[in-house]
């Protein structure tokens, strides 16, 4: 299981409680950090010029802040596995599409290495899946590059929701205040 941080950490941990391997061992949770480009405070003139040039493009560029590192041998870590990518929300689908794209690149590289190191052997099949707590029902900016995920029934959303702002309890500094606001929002 691969959690997209920070939103995917808690859902991945909860899912792990209900998913087990055939050998009854816990499913490991790996973490990747992906962030959509956001307007950040900039101090130099060059950085201010860059920000001005990219104004209006916020949320269109994904930046890797952390990626997988299993240590050797990585071949046995991704190949032949069912890998579930977990995040809290599928909003624009940009982050999910990027995660699938980059994992697919890694898997393709590992396949080449496997063929070189194990000539004549069949390459173990790797399947990617996606789980989100909420899928916002709206047009997405990007499609998941591996169409077999959607067509093959390996995309799961616990809840389909209209396009509205979502705040999760683990994002609240004050859970009691969060609960009050949540109740007010649900009644309006």
User: Where in the sequence numbering do the catalytic residues fall?
Assistant: 91
| CA–CA distance, 180 with 188 (Å, rounded to integer) | 13
Q: Say if CB 146 and CB 100 are below 8 A apart.
A: yes
Q: Can you point out the beta strands (E) in the chain?
A: 2-5, 30-36, 62-66, 82-90, 127-136, 155-161
C-alpha–C-alpha distance, residues 123 and 161, integer Å: 39
């Amino acid at each position: 299981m691969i959690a997209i941080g920070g939103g995917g950490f808690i859902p991945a941990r909860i899912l792990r409680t209900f998913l087990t391997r055939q050998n009854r061992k816990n499913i490991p949770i790996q973490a990747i950090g992906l962030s959509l480009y956001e307007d950040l405070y900039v101090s130099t003139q060059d950085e201010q010029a860059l920000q001005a040039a990219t104004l209006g493009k916020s949320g269109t560029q994904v930046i890797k802040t952390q990626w997988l590192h299993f240590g050797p041998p990585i071949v046995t870590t991704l190949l032949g596995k069912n890998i579930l990518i977990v995040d809290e929300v599928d909003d624009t689908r940009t982050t999910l599409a990027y995660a699938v794209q980059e994992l697919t690149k890694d898997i393709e590289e590992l396949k080449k290495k496997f063929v070189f190191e194990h000539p004549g052997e069949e390459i173990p099949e790797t399947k990617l899946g996606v789980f989100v707590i909420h899928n916002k029902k709206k047009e997405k900016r990007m499609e998941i590059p591996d169409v077999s995920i959607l067509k093959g029934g390996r995309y799961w959303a616990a809840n389909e929701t209209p396009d509205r702002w979502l705040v999760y309890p683990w994002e609240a500094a004050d859970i009691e205040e969060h609960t009050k606001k949540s109740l007010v929002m649900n009644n309006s």
